[in-house]
Chains A and B, each alone.
Chain A
Amino acid sequence: MTEAREVVLSVQNLTRRFGGLVAVAEVSFDVLAGEIVALIGPNGAGKTTLFNVVTGVYQPSEGDVFYLDESLADLQPHEICRRGIARTFQNIRLFNGMTVLENVMIGRHTRTGAGLHDALFGLRRHRHEEKDGRERARHLLEFVGLTGQEATIASDLPYGHQRRLEIARALASEPKLLLLDEPAAGLTPAEKTELKELIEAIRGHGITVLLIEHDMKFVMGISDRVVVLDYGRKIAEGIPEEIRRNPAVIEAYLGTGAETGVA
């Protein structure tokens, strides 16, 4: 089923320490082109930290991360974005004082290049990119279901819409790989269904998705493969049915007393 598909992201023996705390410990896994992979694990398992290392917020302590065979270890976040990895944040990080449209247009930063002089003299490059950028941003807002909100200040949006705006902003950079950190957190069941459809539509556009999620029903329903972390270590990896029955996973979740619906 996964034969001969391109490896988009390859996490190899990744360790990240914070002082004495090992947040991610010798984790390895691959994400193949066109997949939806879920990264799960109890609170504090190191999922967000792994995202942060992939996107250059933190350097790996040991090991490496490869994106299309290029090491990301020494790259800064903006360079990683430029290569085609976009992300959202667990605690939504929008540009709060700016409008919805501006937020998405900032997402296009790496796909545009008009300089200060272009803007000052109103040169063609600036004018073209602004017009084109606005159009594309509108399309993306339509795609995530935020039509008509272009002029709203981002922080005035309801929570669920903020999550979608963050996804639209990430998509604006035309990524190959999209990292979603708990996109369904705090959403109503109806919103979760819409989000599932949205993520599938994103995959439909050829974008590979790696997502962190706690809602097991959501995870099992959407992912091709699941990677499970516990105390920084990878304890399991496989298709949803295998994970559901995996004793180590059940143990990890029951151990924390979390209500996950795994069993």
Chain B
Amino acid sequence: MTAEGGIVKRRKLGKAAAWLGVILFLAWLPSFLPFSVEWNIGSWLDPIWLRLFGHSSGIETYRIDIGLHHATLAALFVIMAMGLNLSIGFAGLLDLGFIAFVAIGAYIMAIELTRVPLNSDSVRVFSAWWAVIPLCIFGAVLVRVALGATCLRLRGDYLAIVTLGFGEITRVALKNDLFGLTGGPDGIFLSPRVMPEFFSDPEPLYYLAAALALLSCFTLYRWKNSRAGRAWEAVREDEVAAAACGINVFRAKIWAYGLGGVFAGLAGALYALHNTTAHPTDYDFIESVKVVVMVVLGGMGSIAGVAFGSVVFILLLEVLRGLAHYRMLIFGATLVALMVFRPQGLAGRAGK
């Protein structure tokens, strides 16, 4: 008994140390960025047929440039991935339109920031940007619950199709100046005069995003080992058996799906500040796919795995940027290899 207690205590200490390590790493990360290297690779990247005919693609140096804004971006994607992890990872609801809810958060933030009238110096002084965040969250959750209420009774593939469609509809609606509020194809630009003073340096946004990403992970971690978390997983594993165990399957799904909106709205609000714009092309289908890949890559339902997967994914995109259009080729191949050799993801539980 005491030996077991000792092991538990040591494990707890180990966990605390790991968390502390992550926090310290995040705190000091800005001092290591930007990180930039450059290699001369000659014509190494040129495909053989180009070289055979004496042509060259002109890519002779390989650069890796990673700035603080990439770290911020990674943190924002961790928040999104946690939200989607609730749907896909926990409750098994395949959502292919997640980015639409991020867009809702982003647009609410942008609309609110630009709505405040200019003062006499023709500057908008709106310091209460943080007060908009709950509104962004509320908007995303509201739409998500409404969509969920109509389509969560659908099973598997149908849900994926409906959410995919919803994502596209949202993007097109935003692009077509929905309600005359979303600025059409140009989106809403947050000029330096509109941007909250707090974000004139990139660091505060980074720290905010990193802290909220950690908080998101913590929240999911707590939920995973709880009554509700187990109920979600039960629904994912077998709806009939879950219902027979007294779980209200539809209600569990609505909660998992709706709560994903909290993370989407939050990430969206910060994403607008990060991009200094809310622009329809930032909410393409491919962005939804990215978040899905992060969740699947990390191992559905596993929190550390998904967080790690998201960061790796974002950084890898930057590292591979020098490959130009080969980037997606390599990416696709990597994903295929991963799904073949580790279908449960980097940190997922093995088994069926």
Give residues in A with beta carbon < 8 Å to B: 55-57, 76-78, 81-82, 86-87, 89, 93-98, 102, 105-107, 109-110, 112-116, 118-120, 122, 126, 129-130, 153, 155-156, 169, 173
Residue among A82, A112, A153, A173 making CB contact with B227, cutoff 8 Å: A112
A77 touches B228 (CB 8 A): no
B327 interface residue (CB < 8 Å to A): no
A110 touches B243 (CB 8 A): no
B245 touches A107 (CB 8 A): yes
A106 touches B244 (CB 8 A): no
**Interface segment, B116-124, B172-180, B199-207, B232-240?**
B232-240
Write the nearest CB–CB distance from A61 to chain B, whole angstroms.
20
CA distance A82 to B247 in the complex (A): 9
Write the nearest CB–CB distance from B237 to chain A, whole angstroms.
4
Which B residues lie within 8 Å of A106 (CB)? 230-231, 233-234, 242, 245, 247
Provide 6 A-B residue pairs closer than 8 Å at the C-beta atoms, listed in order of the A residue: A78-B249, A81-B243, A93-B238, A119-B226, A120-B223, A153-B351
B240 touches A93 (CB 8 A): yes
A120 touches B222 (CB 8 A): yes
CA distance A250 to B242 in the complex (A): 38
Chain B interface bracket (under 10, 10 to 19, 20 to 34, 35 or more):
20 to 34
CA distance A43 to B182 in the complex (A): 63
Which B residues lie within 8 Å of A116 (CB)? 223, 226, 228, 255, 259
B229 interface residue (CB < 8 Å to A): yes
Write the nearest CB–CB distance from B98 to chain A, whole angstroms.
20
A129 touches B244 (CB 8 A): no
Residue among B219, B233, B247, B255 making CB contact with A78, cutoff 8 Å: B247
B241 interface residue (CB < 8 Å to A): yes
Interface bits B310-352 vs A (CB < 8 Å: 1, else 0)? 0000000000000000000000000000000000000001111
A81 touches B241 (CB 8 A): no
Residue among B226, B228, B241, B248 making CB contact with A93, cutoff 8 Å: B241
- Given pairs A93-B244, A95-B237, A106-B230, 18 additional interface contacts (CB within 8 A): A55-B244, A81-B243, A82-B246, A89-B244, A95-B242, A97-B349, A98-B234, A102-B230, A106-B245, A109-B246, A110-B246, A114-B226, A114-B227, A119-B222, A119-B225, A119-B226, A119-B227, A130-B226
CA distance A106 to B222 in the complex (A): 16
A81 touches B246 (CB 8 A): yes
CA distance A3 to B247 in the complex (A): 36
CA distance A94 to B225 in the complex (A): 18
Interface centre among A97, A114, A122, A126 (most CB of B within 10 A): A97
Write the nearest CB–CB distance from A125 to chain B, whole angstroms.
10
Write the nearest CB–CB distance from A84 to chain B, whole angstroms.
10
Which B residues lie within 8 Å of A76 (CB)? 243, 248
CB closest residue in chain B, given A173: B246
CA distance A146 to B234 in the complex (A): 21
Write the nearest CB–CB distance from B247 to chain A, whole angstroms.
5
CB closest residue in chain A, given B301: A97
CA distance A78 to B245 in the complex (A): 7
B241 touches A94 (CB 8 A): yes
B227 touches A129 (CB 8 A): yes
A119 touches B228 (CB 8 A): yes
CB closest residue in chain B, given A81: B246
Write the nearest CB–CB distance from A113 to chain B, whole angstroms.
8
Known: A95-B234, A116-B226, A130-B225. A81 touches B244 (CB 8 A): yes
Write the nearest CB–CB distance from A58 to chain B, whole angstroms.
11
A78 touches B243 (CB 8 A): yes
Which A residues lie within 8 Å of B234 (CB)? 95, 98, 106, 109
Residue among B231, B233, B237, B241 making CB contact with A89, cutoff 8 Å: B241
B245 touches A126 (CB 8 A): no
Which A residues lie within 8 Å of B243 (CB)? 56-57, 76-78, 81
Which A residues lie within 8 Å of B245 (CB)? 78, 81, 106-107, 109-110, 169, 173
Which B residues lie within 8 Å of A173 (CB)? 245-246
CA distance A94 to B223 in the complex (A): 21
Write the nearest CB–CB distance from B296 to chain A, whole angstroms.
15
A96 touches B237 (CB 8 A): yes
Write the nearest CB–CB distance from A159 to chain B, whole angstroms.
15
Which B residues lie within 8 Å of A57 (CB)? 240, 243-244
CA distance A263 to B334 in the complex (A): 65
CA distance A118 to B127 in the complex (A): 33
B226 touches A126 (CB 8 A): yes
CA distance A81 to B241 in the complex (A): 11
Within 8 A of A (CB), among B242-282: 242-249, 255, 259
In the A-B complex, the 10 residue pairs with the smallest Cβ-Cβ separation, listed nearest first, are A119-B226, A110-B246, A81-B246, A77-B243, A95-B237, A93-B241, A109-B246, A106-B234, A78-B248, A153-B351
Write the nearest CB–CB distance from B321 to chain A, whole angstroms.
37
